[in-house]
Structure 1
Amino acid sequence: MTSLSEKNFQPRDARIKPVSDVAARLQREIAGEVMFDQASRGRYSTDASIYQIMPLGVVVPRHQQDLQVALDIARDAGMPVLPRGAGTSQCGQTVGEALVLDTSRWLNNVVEFDEQARTVVVEPGIVLDHLNAWLKPYGLWFPVDVSTSAQCTLGGMAGNNSCGSRSIKYGNMVHNVQGIDALLADGSQASFGFIDEMTATGKLGDIIKQVRQIAEREDAHIREHYPKVLRRVAGYNLDLFNCQNPLPYDALGRANLAHLLVGSEGTLGLTQRLTLKLEPLPEHKVLGVVNFPTFYQAMDFTQHIVELGPAAVELVDRTMIELSLENPAFRPVIEKALIGKPAAILLVEFSGQEREPLLDALRRLNELMADLGLPDCVVDMPEAAEQKALWNVRKAGLNIMMSMKGDGKPVSFIEDCAVPLEHLAEYTDKLTQVFHKYGTEGTWYAHASVGTLHVRPILDMRRDGAEKMREIAEAASELVREYKGAYSGEHGDGICRGEWVAWQFGAELNAAFKEIKQLFDPDNLFNPNKIVDTPRMDDDRYFRFPRQYQTIPVTPVLDWSPWDVKRDPLTGEQSAPGTAGDPTFGLAKAVEMCNNNGHCRKFDAGTMCPSYRITRDEQHLTRGRANTLRLVLSGQVGQEGLASDEVKEALDLCVSCKGCKRDCPTGVDMAKLKIEARAARAKTHPLAWRDRMIANMPRYAPYASRMGPLLGSLERLPVLSRWVKQSLGLAEARSLPTFSSDYLRRAELLQSKTNTVGEVVLFVDTFNNYMEADNAAAAHRVLTAAGYRVHLNSPPNQRPLCCGRTYLASGQVDKAKAEARRTLDYLMPYVERGATIVGLEPSCLLTLRDEFLHYGYGEEARQLAEAAMLFEEFLVRENKAGRLALDLKPLEASRAWLHGHCHQKAFDALRPVETVLGWIPDLEVKTIESSCCGMAGSFGYEREHFEASMQMAELSLLPAVRQAAADDLVVADGTSCRHQIRDGAQRDALHVALVLAMALD
C-alpha cells in the first residue's frame, strides 16, 4: 500500500514530469475538476476490489475536449492515464499509479438514437439504469443487466466485458457493442466497428492489418486455448475473426474490431462513445423460486432447468438468505420466497411478449421439479412488484455478503470461474472441500444459468488471508482446467487475475497479447500493468489491508462494540462483542464495512445519498466519506485524526439522513460516524456561537416561547431580520422558526385519568412543544379518544425531557448522554410497567431507538428502545392487536401527499403513516418518492448550506408538492420537512396526528 502521508510524493517513473507541473497545466487548460490533494487521490485509490494504489492525480472532464486535452497533457508529461466510471470493478482494474479520468459526472449523455435500427450511441459515463430509463418510452432496453445497474457506467461495463443475470438469453457486452469511438495513445481519434466498414488508413490501418495478422498466426492456439463457455472475459478478444464463443459476436459472422477493446480494461484506448445494440423490452415476466434442501441439488438440477428456456437462473445460497433476513429492508421480501429453511434457492425467470406461454413455462418448472423428486418446492411469483422486490435482493448480493461484521470478509479472487453446467455440482462440491481444508467457508450466489457462481471464501486479509488466497486460487485453477472452464468468467482481470492470463491462454497467446498492447500503446500510457505485465495477485504492496495495516489510537465517544466481533468462517457463528485490546471499540471496523461497491451512487429510489445526488462528487458520497474516514483512521490522510480538515470537508454536506443505515446493504452508518467526527472536532476546535445556540435550543426554548410574538415580528422587519441572520451565519432567504406556547406546561391539567385500554407516555419534543403545539394537542386528543391514559414527558419541577439530538449535531456527546440519562431515569418506571413511549418527531423519538443504545447504558437503553414508538407505529400495532377503536369521518380533502422523514424511512416507519391515513374514509394517499428534504435540522438554516439544502428539496419533493391541488393535504411528520415545504413550496404540511384529529368523529 502506498502511503498517502508521504509529503513529497514521487511518481513511479523518473521520466514523468513533476506532478505539480502537470496539475498546474491541467488547471489552466481544462474546464473540469483537477484534484491532486491527498484526500481526493485517496478516495480514488480503491475500487470494489481488495486493492489500493495511490493515483498521481484525478481529473473529472466536463466534456470531450477536456478528455482530449487531459490525455495530451498526460502524454507530454509521460504520465499514465486510467479511465474510470463508477469504480465498481472487483479485480482492481480501476486503481493504479496514473492520472485517473473520471467520466461519470459529466460524460454521461445519449449522443444518438436510432429507434428503427435499435441502436444508441452514448458517452462512457452514462449509468446503465439511467440509459434504460431513457429508452423505456420507446419499448427498448440495453439487456446486459448487471447487478450494479443503478451505479455502473457503460464505459466500465465495456472495459470489463460485463455480463449480467440474463446473459443466457442476451449474451455479454461483447455481443451487444457494435462500435467504439476512442482516443489512441498518440491522441488521434479512431472509430472501431465492423472491419469491412472501417477505413484502413494511417495508424488505424496499421492496427487493422497487424491485428488480423496476429489473429491468423495464432488461430490454432486460439482454437485450443480459448474456453468454450459463454462466460470468459480474460485477455484480449483475439477470437473476433473466428469466434469460439457459444454466442457469435455478430449474427452475420462479421469481424468487429470494437470487440478487441471490449474487455481491454482501458489498456488499448480511451473510450469517447459507444454504439450499443438494443432489444425490445419484454412485455411480461414470471418468476419461479425453487427451494432446495441441499446446495448440491441446486447445482445439479440447474442443467435441467435451463432446458426450459429461461431468461435467467440465479442462485441465492443459505448464507445470503440468512444475511438478507438480518436486513430490515430485505427481510419481508426474502421471507415470501422461502419454503421452510432451504439450503439454497434458484430464481428462475421467463420473459417474453405474451403472458400465457410464460405461465405455461412456470407450470412446466413445477412439473420438472416434481419429476426430479422435489414436488411443491417452487414459489410462483407471476406479478411484477414481487418479482422486482426479490430481484433487488439478488442484485444486492455482493453488498449483502459484505455486511458480515468482523475482520474476516468474503474475498473476491476466484469469484467468477465458469464451468460447463454438467460439471457445476461437482465443481462447487470440490471447491467447498478446498475451503474446508483451509479452515474457511465460501459464500455462493449469482449466475447458475451459465455456470458462473460468485464465490467468495471468508478470509482475514490482515493476518493469513493472502497465503490462503494463493493456495485456494491454485486449487481452483486446477478444477477449472479439469472441467475445461474459464478462470475469469465475468469481472475481468485487473490485478487479481492478471497473472492468470498466461495460465489460461498459454505462452504463445500471452505473447500475442503483449504484441496487441504494444501495437495500440507503445509507451504503456493506458492503465499499465493490467492484462499484460501484471503483478502477482497477492502482492502485499497493493492490498487495501496489507499486513502492516494499523489504525491510529482513538477513544470513541460512542460504543462500537457490536462491530468488534469474531466470526467462525466455517460455521458463521459470531462471538460475543468484545473490546479488549482494541481502543477504537470497533469504530474502524464500522468504517471498513464499506466495500466500495458504490451502491450509494444510485438515483432511482430510497434516501441515500442526497448530497451525492446534487453534487455527483465522490467526496460527498457515503463511499467517499467512508474511504476518507478509513484513510484518516489508518494514518494515511490528515494530521489530526477525526478532527482533521479532510474529515470536516468530506462530512460537510452529510445531512445525517441515516439513508445509508437502511439503503446501504452493508449497513455503513454515516450519521453515527459523523457524531464521532463532530465530537473529535469539538474537542480541538471551539464551537461557533451559532452551533452553541442551536445545540442549546431545548434549554432556552421555554423562555423563547414566552416571547413568541416578539420573536415572530422579526420576519416583518426586514432590516432587523437580515442583521440577525447575518450575525448568526443564517441564510437570509430562510424563514426563522416561530415559538408558541409551552404545551406540556398547559397540558398537565389535561392528562386523562381513565385507562380503558392502556397507558402511554406522550413524548412531546422541543419542536412540537414550543413551536408546533397543535401537533402535540392533536396526538393527545387522538390517544385519549382511543381510550388510553396519557402521561407526559414533563418531570415535576424540571424542564421537559429531551432526546439530546441538538447536542449530537454539534458534537457535544457528553451533554447528549446527560439528557439520555435524565430521560431514562424518568421513563424507566413507565417502561417497567408496560407503558409505551409514543413520540411525534421522528428524529427525536428514534434517537431513543438508535443513539441511546450506543451510550453505554446497557439493558435500560435496550428496554426503552423496545418500548419507544412513533405515534403512527403505535396506532398500527394497537389496531393489529384489536385494541384500537377510532371512529374517523371523511375529510373535505380527497387526496393526501405524503413525504417521509429520512429517519422514518431508515427505520421502515413510513408504511405505518400510509396505513393510518388509509383509515380515513375516501382519502387517497400518494407517497412522494423523495430523498432528504434538505432541511436536516440546522443544515438548511446555515448560510453556507442553504443552496445545497434547496437543491436537495428540488430533486423531487418540492416539484411533487407543487403538483398537489389546492385542496389536497400535504403530510410530513418531520418538523424540518414541514419547514422546508413551507419555505420552498408555500404549502403548509401537516403532521399525521393533526390529520387524524381532524377526522375524529
Structure 2
Amino acid sequence: MSHLLLDATLATAERQLSERVDGEVSFDAGTRAAYSTDSSNFRQVPIAVVCPRTVEDAVEAVAVCRRLGLPVVSRGGGTSLAGQCCNEAVVLDFSRHCHRLVSVDAEARTCVVEPGIVLDDLNRQLAPTGLRFGPEPATHPNCTIGGMIGNNSCGATAQRTGKVVDNIRSLDVLLRDGTRFTARALDDEAYAALVDGRTDRVAEVHRELRRIRDEHGDLIRERYPDIPRRVSGYNLDSLLPEHGFDVAGFLVGSEATLVTVLRAELELVPVVRARTLVVLGYPDIARAADAVPSIVEHDPIALEGVDHKLVHDEQLKGMNPDALEELPDGTGFLMVQFGGEDTEEADARAHAMLEAIGHTEHEPTVAFYDDPEREQELWAVREAGLGATAHVAGQPDTFEGWEDSAVPVDRLGDYLRDLQALYDEFGYSSDTGPALYGHFGQGCVHTRIPFGLYSTEGVATYRRFMERAADLCVSYGGSLSGEHGDGQSRGELLVKMFGSEVVGLFERVKTLFDPDDMQNPGKVVRPAPLDHHLRLGGTWSPRRDVAGLPLHFDFPHDGHSFAQAANRCVGVGKCRQLAHDGGDVMCPSYQVTGEERFSTRGRARLLFEMLDGHRDSPITDGWRSDEVKDALDLCLACKGCKSDCPASVDMATYKAEFLAQHYRHRLRPRADYVTGYLPAGVRVVDRLRLAPLVNRLAGVRPLRRAGSRLAGLEDRDPPALATRSLQTWWRDRPSTARPEPARGSVLLFPDTFTNYFHPEVGQAAVRVLEDAGWDVTIPSEPLCCGLTWISTGQLDVAKRRLRRTIDALAPHVRAGGLVLGLEPSCTTVFRSDAPDLFSGDPDVDRLRDHTVTFAELLTEHSDGYEPPRLDGTSAVAQVHCHQHAVLGWDADRTLLEHSGADVERLESGCCGLAGNFGFTAGHGEVSEACAERVLLPRLRAADPGTVVLADGFSCRTQISQLDSGGAEGQHLAQVLAGALDRRTQDHTGDHTGDHTGRSTT
C-alpha cells in the first residue's frame, strides 16, 4: 500500500472508528508509542489503539478494520513475553472498559466475564462465594483474563488447577469476517445439531476442525508432548475425542491470531482455606529438581523452584529482605505448598511429605511455615523473579527469549544440567547468572539470559542459542513454551517441536479462521523471524541530539545514560494495578485514569521512543516532544515506582530531566514559575511580614480565582502562611531552662513548608527532641533543598539552590552531625535527588548518610529512649509517597508501637496533591480522584477522636482542603508533643502548650 493510500485509509479509519465505536480511538503518536511493545524483546508500532466501551463496540471496531483492510490484535494487560501483544495493527485494548463480571453461578461453579477483567479483581469479586479462578500467573494483580486466555496462562497454582485451557467452559468469539459464535465442547449429538443442514461459516469452521481431528488424530497424539506444561502451538489436542471435541479449549492459547474473544465462561474452584509452606534447601538447583518427582507424589498445591542466583539478585536490589533471611541452607530451593480445610490438615500433609523424602537420597534442609503473612513474604521471592533478574547493578542486561521451556518432571534435573552447559558454551554463564527458577512441579523453567541484543554479533549469537536450546528441549520431550506462549520468540521454532506436518495443520487452521491473515499477523503461524522487529538490536541507535545532550541528573545506576534509564522498564506492568493491593503507591495517575500512557510503563515506552533509535518511531522531535510532555503531565512525581517497580524505574527523576531539556532556552508555563519559585516568594512575604495580608487577600474568592487563573493554577484555596516562621520563633525563643542535652546536637533543617506554613510542626519536634536529650539547632539563614524547582524541572536553579544549602550544612555533617528532616519530600532530596544531581560529591554523600527522619532519630540514634505514652490512642497513618519510596516507614511504626498507639497504615497510595501537582491547572480532577480512592472515604468512616498521622505537608493540605469528614492531619512530632503535654498536665495540672493543631504563635 503506497504512503498516500495508507494515509487516506488511516484518515478514513480514524473517522469511521470514532463515529461508530463508543470508547477511546487513538491514532496519536503518544498512544501508539505507549503500545509499541509488551514485556518482550520486540517492538512494532501499532496503527491505532481502540479501547471499546463494550464488547459490541469491539465487534464494530473489527468490522471497520475488515472493510478497510487493517489488521487487528487484541490486548489485555500487555505483559506477554513473546511479542504477541505488539503488532503493526489496530490494537483492541479491552482492559480499560470491558472488565465486567457479567454473571456468577456459584452452584455450577462458573462465571461469565469480559476479557479485560483483571484476575485479582475477579477473585476479589468472587470471594463471597468461596470460589476463585484457579490459574494465577505472577502478574495476577494486573494480568487480564483475556490475556490469560490468549496465552493459555498457568502460574504456580496450575499444580492444583491446571492451565487456563483446563478451566474454560465456553468462549464468545468473533471471526475476522464478522461471524460470532459460542465455542464449547461438543459431543457427537451437539456437533450434529450444529452442522447438519447448515452451510454458514459456523458450520464450515466446525466441519473443518472435525475433519482435521479425524484425519490427523494419531499424528497429533504422536507429536504433542504428554506433559502438563505444553503451551506451545495451537491446542489441536483439545479437538480429540478423549477431550470432547472442545473448540473453546482449542482456541485458548491462540494468541489473538484466530479469533477475538468477547466473553468467557470460566470454571471456578473452591478457595483453599489454609496453606502451609515448606521450603527445602539443596546443594544446587539441579539436585533440587531431581527431588521433584518424589515430592509431586504427595499432591502439593504448588511446587516452585528458586536458585541462589535469583536470591542474590534480589539481595542486590533490596527486595524481600526479611523473606530471604528465612531460607534454609542451600543454593537450590523448592517451595512446596500444601492446602487443607484448616492449618492442621495442611500441616499434616506437609509433615507426611517431609517424613517420606527424609528417608531418600533427596533429603533436604527444611524451613516450615504455616503463618500466612510469612508465607506471603516467601512467596514474593518467587513471584519477583522477572523483575529481580532484570537490570541488576554490575551485571549485563538480561532478556526474555528462552524464559519458560518445560520438560517431563522426571527429567528436569538432567535438563537443567544440560541447559547450564549450553549457557557455558555460549558465554552466558557467570557466578551471578542466569538465574533459574520456575514451576518445577510441572517441569517449567523460567530464566532471563544476557543476550547481547545491542550488537549485530550479539543478535546472531542469540539466534544460534535459541535454535540449540529448542533442539535440547525437544530432545527431552519438552515444550518450547510452558507458560508464556510462542508469539514471535518461538513461532519460528515450532517446526522443531511439532514437525512440518503439524505446523502445516496450524497453517490450515489459520487459513480457516483468518484467510486474509489479518488477526495478529506474523505470530505463531507464518511468524516473523525471532531476530526481526527487535526493540534493540544491532541497528538501534538513539539520536545523538537526544541521547547526547548534557544531563542534569547523573543516572549512576544506568551507566550515566538517559538512554539506558529509558530502557529500564521490562514491561511487567505492576504499575497498572487499579485496585490498591499490598501497600504499593505507583502509579496514581494510572489508578484513576486507566490509560496506558499514564502508567509508569507507558511513560517509559514514550521516553524510549523519544530517543528515536528506529526509523519508524512515532516520536520524532526528541526532547521537544509534546506527546511525551503530555504523558508526563499527569505524573505526580510520587516516586512510588522507584520502590514498587520491580525494575526500579524512577519516573519522577525522568520527568524532571525531561522538563529541564524540553524547556531549555524556552519560556515555561506560568504555573512552573509560580510554584517553582514558591520558596523565594514566601521568604519575601515573611521578611516583609505580609503573611496576614496575603492570607486575607487569598480568602477573597474573586481575587483568588483571578489570581489562580493568571498564575495557571487550579481554583483552590492556597495554604495559609504562618504569621511567624519557624526560624523567627527559634530566634525569639526565650532562654528558659531546658533539660541538659545527653545525646549530642542535631540540626533541624528548616524546609520551606515547615518554616513558613506549618512552623508548629518544627516547634513540636524541638519539644520532643529536647525532652529526649538532644541539643537542637536551627540555621538562621534561609536554606532550601530545591524541591520545588526539581519537581517543575527547573534543574539549573535547583542545583544552585541545593549547592548553597549543601555548602551551608557541610561543616556540620563533616563533623559527624545529624540533619533532621521533618518534611518527607525535602528529606528525600537529601537522601536521593542530591546524590543523583551531584554524583560522587563527598559533601553530598555525607549529607545523604547523615540525614534522618524524626522517627529514625528517636529509634536508631537515641539508645534507651522511651517515647511518651499514647495508650488508648487510635490512629490512621497516611504515609507520604516519598517516605514510602525512599525513606521508609519502619522506624515510625516501631516508635508508635513502643508508645502504645494502635495505628493502621492506610493502603491509600498517593494523597493526590503531590506538591505542585494538585495546584497546577488541569490537574484538579485527577488530584481529587486520587484522594477519593481510599484516603478520604477511610477518614470519613473513622471513629471520632481518631488521630490522623500525615507527616507530609501535601498530605495534610489535601486532607484539610477536601471533604475528609472533619479530619485534620498531624505530623508524628505533633502527636508525641501532645502526649508530652498531657503527661506534663497530669503531673502539674498545667497545660504547657498546643502542639497538636495549627500554630498558636
1:49 matches 2:34:
no
Structure 1 residues 339 and 732: CA distance shift in structure 2, 3 A: same
Letter in 1 for 2:525: V
Q: 2:476 aligns with which of 478, 483, 492?
A: 483
Bigger Cα displacement from structure 2, 850-859 vs 744-753 = 744-753
C-alpha distance in structure 2 between counterparts of 1:358 and 1:546, whole Å: 49
From 320, 326, 339, the equivalent of 2:328 is 339
The amino acid across from 1:458 in the alignment is P
Q: Once the 2 structures are TM-superposed, how far is the Cα of residue 951 of structure 1 from its aligned partner?
A: 0.5
Matched, 1:675 2:656: yes
**What are the superposed Cα offsets for residues 641-695 of structure 1, whole Å, 9 maximum, x if unpaired?**
2232122111010000000000001100001111101111231431233322222
Helix, strand or coil at the partner of 1:232 = coil
Question: C-alpha displacement at 1:364, in angstroms?
Answer: 3.3
Mark the CA change 1:17 to 1:804 in structure 2 (over 3 Å): closer, same or farther. Answer: closer
819, 841, 851: which one aligns with 1:868: 851
* Distance in 2, Cα, partners of 1:293 & 1:819: 55
Please tell me whether residue 471 in structure 1 is matched to residue 464 in structure 2. yes
Q: Are 2:916 and 1:938 aligned?
A: yes
- Separation in 1, partners of 2:975, 2:448: 51
Cα contact 1:180–1:271 (8 A) shared by 2 = yes
Aligned to 2:695: 712
Check whether the contact 2:467–2:493 (CA below 8 A) recurs between aligned residues.
no
Write the deviation string for residues 793-827 of structure 1: whole angstroms up to 9, x where unpaired.
Answer: 33xxx32x211101112222122222222222222
* Partner residue in 2 for 1:641: 622
Q: Unaligned stretches of 5+ in structure 1?
A: 1-7, 566-584
Question: 1:643 touches 1:678 (CA, 8 Å); kept in 2?
Answer: no
1:891-935 per-position Cα deviation (integer Å, ceiling 9, x unaligned): 7x73111100000110252232222222334x3211111111000
Structure 2 match to 1:182: 173
Q: 1:566-577, aligned counterparts within 5 Å?
A: none
User: 1:442-492: CA deviations, max 9, x gaps?
Assistant: 321111111111122211201233222222222222222222111222111
Counterparts of 2:485 and 2:909, CA distance in 1: 34
SS in 1 for 2:914: coil
Q: SS at the partner of 1:100?
A: strand
Secondary structure of the corresponding residue to residue 142 of structure 2:
coil
Indicate whether 1:595 and 2:570 are aligned.
Answer: yes
Secondary structure in 2 aligned to 1:501?
Answer: helix
Of stretches 747-756 and 501-510 in structure 1, the one that deviates more from structure 2 is 747-756
Partners of 1:17 and 1:77 within 8 A in 2: no
SS of the residue aligned with 2:805? helix
1:896 to 867, 875, 878: 875
| Structure 1 Cα separation of the partners of residues 921 and 469 of structure 2 | 58
The aligned residue for residue 824 of structure 2 is 842
1:831 paired with 2:829, answer: no
> Secondary structure of 2:705's match?
helix
1:415 to 403, 427, 431: 403
Residue 18 of structure 1 aligns to a residue whose secondary structure is: helix
Q: CA deviation at 1:312?
A: 1.0
Aligned-partner Cα distance in 2 for 1:101–1:700: 49
Hey, what's the Cα distance between the residues in 1 that align with 2:308 and 2:869? Answer: 48
> Of 558, 568, 576, which aligns to 2:552?
558
Query: In structure 2, how many angstroms separate the alpha carbons of the residues matched to 1:756 and 1:279?
Result: 62
Q: Does 1:460 align with 2:446?
A: no
Asked whether 1:494 is paired with 2:487, we answer yes
Residue 757 of structure 1: aligned partner: 743
Is the aligned partner of 1:86 residue 2:59?
A: no
Deviation at 1:17, TM superposition (A): 6.6
Q: Could you tell me how far apart the structure 2 residues matched to 1:104 and 1:226 are?
A: 33
Which segment is superposed worse, 844-853 or 483-492? Answer: 483-492
* Bigger shift: residues 449-458 or 818-827: 818-827
Report if the CA contact (8 A) 1:328-1:662 is conserved. no
For residues 221 and 841 of structure 1, what CA distance do their matches in structure 2 show?
Answer: 69
Query: 1:295, 1:56 → 2: CA distance?
Result: 45
Report the Cα distance in structure 2 between the residues aligned to 1:374 and 1:836, rounded to whole angstroms: 53
Mapped partners of 2:516, 2:371: distance in 1: 55
**Matching residue of 2:227:** 229
Instruction: Give the conservation status (yes or no) of the 8 Å contact 2:286–2:332.
Output: no
Distance 1:413 1:675, change over 3 A: same
Identity of aligned residues (%): 35
Residue number in structure 2 paired with 1:569 = none
1:687 and 2:668 aligned: yes
Does structure 2 conserve the Cα–Cα contact (< 8 Å) formed by 1:181 and 1:191?
yes
Instruction: Indicate the residue corresponding to 1:217 in structure 2.
Output: 215
Alpha-carbon separation, structure 1, partners of 2:423 and 2:364? 32
The alignment partner of 1:26 has SS state of helix
Task: Please give the secondary structure, in 1, of the residue aligned with 2:204.
Answer: helix
Matched to 2:181, the amino acid is A
Alignment of structure 1 residues 576-975 onto 2, 5 Å: 585-602=560-577, 603-605=579-581, 606-635=584-613, 636-705=617-686, 706-748=689-731, 750=733, 754-794=740-780, 798-799=781-782, 801-856=783-838, 858-879=841-862, 882-886=863-867, 888-890=868-870, 894-907=873-886, 909-921=888-900, 923-975=901-953
Deviation at 1:365, TM superposition (A): 4.1
Contact 1:682 1:810 in 2 (8 A): no
The 3-state SS of whatever aligns with 2:202 is helix
Distance 1:226 1:863 in 2: 62
Q: Which runs of 5+ in 2 are unaligned?
A: 984-1001
AA partner of residue 755 (structure 1): P
**C-alpha distance after superposition, 1:406-455 (max 9, x if no partner):** 79322222222211122111111111111111111232111111111112
The letter for the 1-side match of 2:328 is I
Q: Which amino acid aligns with 1:203?
A: R
Distance in structure 1 (CA, Å) of the matches to 2:3 and 2:227: 44
- Aligned equivalent of 1:580: none
Change (3 A) 1:57 1:716: closer
User: What is the CA–CA distance in structure 1 between the aligned matches of 2:810 and 2:394, rounded to whole Å?
Assistant: 33
What displacement does 1:405 show? 4.5
CA distance in 2, matches of 1:479, 1:528: 28
In 2, the alpha carbon distance for the partners of 1:561 and 1:111 equals 47
Q: SS where residue 378 of structure 1 aligns?
A: strand
Q: Tell me how large the CA RMSD over aligned residues is.
A: 2.1
2:385 maps to which residue? 397
Q: Flag the 1:591–1:793 CA change in 2: closer, same or farther, 3 A.
A: farther
- Cα deviation code 1:145-198 (max 9, x no counterpart): 111111111111111111111212211011001100011122121001121346
- 1:165 equivalent in structure 2: 156
Deviation of 1:118 after TM superposition, in Å, equals 0.5
Distance 2:746 2:356 in 1: 55
Moved more, 553-562 or 310-319: 553-562
* Structure 1 counterpart of 2:10: 19
Match in the other structure for 1:997: 977
Whole-angstrom CA distance in 2 between matches of 1:120 and 1:211: 27
Q: Distance in 2 between matches of 1:437 and 1:374?
A: 29
Q: Report the equivalent of 2:283.
A: 293
Partners of 1:930 and 1:727 in 2: CA distance: 33
**Pick aligned residue for 2:304 from 314, 325, 337:** 314
Query: Which residue identity is paired with 2:797?
Result: K
